[in-house]
Amino acid sequence: MKVNIYYGGRGLIDDPTIFVMNKIITVLEELNIKVAKYNLYEDKRGISILPKTFKDADAVILAASVEWMGIGGLLWQFLDACWLYGDKEKMKSLYMMPVVLATTYGEKDAQFTMVKAWEMLGGIPCDGICAYVSDPVAFETGTEYSYLIEKKTENFYRTFSKKLSSFPSSSMAVRENVQQTKTISLTPQESEQLSMYVSDERYVKQQKEDIQELTQMFREMMGDSVDSSAEEPYIDEFRKAFSPIPDIALTFSWEIKGFQKPLILSIDNSKLECYYGQKEEVDVAIKSDRQILEKIIYGESPLQTAFMAGDLTAKGNFRVLHTFDTLFRFGR
């Protein structure tokens, strides 16, 4: 069985929705459920073809972050695409769990909006997760919240795995008797192509790698690339991006795949020591390949976003990790 997650937030490190999604993924994978996660902010132009990914899904999770008002524009775009391009017969059998985390007022309104929209699309909404979070750290470290997330996910699993029925709603009646869906017709060839490409994770991954390779090639043509033959690459980039914070002393180590020694970033107030070597005690130890590091230092992605997406790993004091993007302002 398979569950698709569609995340409509901005991918910020302090977004509690990311923590909840990761917890849900862990529980589902323990239940032998395949999970595919789609970050809408990563490919805004591709949102219109995402409904094609419903093809092999048994259930979906819509995850929203309420930062100001409502579910946000990206999730609205996705729901619009479901209305215009989605397979209505397929959606009739799709169970949907809403996940709404708010750092401001309005989480219940946002959840109601998602449930109502899914009913109008013909799908089956389930009980979800809806919460206001004033302190993301306290929320993520609270064992009682983790327990609630696990139980909600398990209930969702029971619902879609057993194909449980739901009570009828007036929204469904309105859709069946009044609303006329204006679906944009696609030829069989167009539909198959969209479905094949958007659901092929290897194709999407290859496309991202090709884009990064082209970006690097153009940088080299413009004379703006890191000299890979240099004995100590990336050090100048870190020094130029360094933005001191008063009364702070900490150390990062960055292990880069293919490099013999890790990159050490030792900070003491306004002083930065940057070198390749070994250091016994560090506050945070980071590991990644060269492509991810370059993506960060070229300002294409904050470290926190890369960490939450699983592109790099880190261990140590995660409160210190939160300060990295403040200490090093790449591309700003």
State the total domains in the chain.
2
- What CATH number did the domain enclosing 67 receive? 3.40.50.360
Same domain, yes or no, for 72 and 160?
A: yes
Distance between CA 193 and CA 86 in Å, rounded?
A: 15
**Structural domain containing residue 239:** 235-327
Same domain, yes or no, for 246 and 111?
A: no
Same domain, yes or no, for 269 and 167?
A: no
pLDDT 10s per residue in the chain (332 long)?
999 999 999 999 889 999 999 999 999 999 999 999 999 999 888 899 999 999 999 999 999 999 988 999 999 999 999 999 899 899 999 999 999 999 999 999 999 999 999 999 999 999 999 999 999 999 999 999 999 999 999 999 999 999 988 777 776 666 665 555 455 556 655 655 565 555 555 666 666 666 766 766 665 566 544 443 346 799 999 999 999 888 889 999 999 998 989 999 999 988 999 999 998 899 999 999 999 999 999 888 889 888 888 889 989 888 888 889 889 998 75
Residue 205 lies in a domain: no
**What is the per-residue pLDDT for 241?**
92
**What is the per-residue pLDDT for 226?**
42
**What is the per-residue pLDDT for 36?**
96
**What is the per-residue pLDDT for 263?**
95
**What is the per-residue pLDDT for 331?**
73
**What is the per-residue pLDDT for 229?**
36
**Which residues contact residue 225 at a Cβ distance below 8 angstroms, ignoring those fewer than 6 apart?**
216, 219
**What is the per-residue pLDDT for 80?**
93
- What CATH number did the domain enclosing 300 receive? 3.30.1050.10
Same domain, yes or no, for 188 and 321?
A: no
Same domain, yes or no, for 86 and 17?
A: yes
CA distances from 308 to 127, 250, 312, 313 (A): 26, 22, 8, 9
Report yes or no: 161 and 28 within 8 Å, Cβ to Cβ: no
**What is the per-residue pLDDT for 225?**
43
**What is the per-residue pLDDT for 227?**
41
Long-range CB contacts (within 8 A, 24+) of 38-44: 38/4, 38/5, 38/6, 38/7, 39/7, 39/11, 39/309, 40/6, 40/7, 40/8, 40/74, 40/75, 40/77, 40/78, 41/7, 41/9, 41/10, 41/11, 41/74, 42/11, 44/74, 44/77
Domain-ending residue, one of 198, 223, 252: 198
Same domain, yes or no, for 32 and 157?
A: yes
Same domain, yes or no, for 189 and 254?
A: no
Same domain, yes or no, for 66 and 167?
A: yes
Residue 142 lies in a domain: yes
Same domain, yes or no, for 121 and 243?
A: no
Domain-ending residue, one of 177, 198, 219: 198
Q: Helix or strand or coil: residue 282?
A: coil
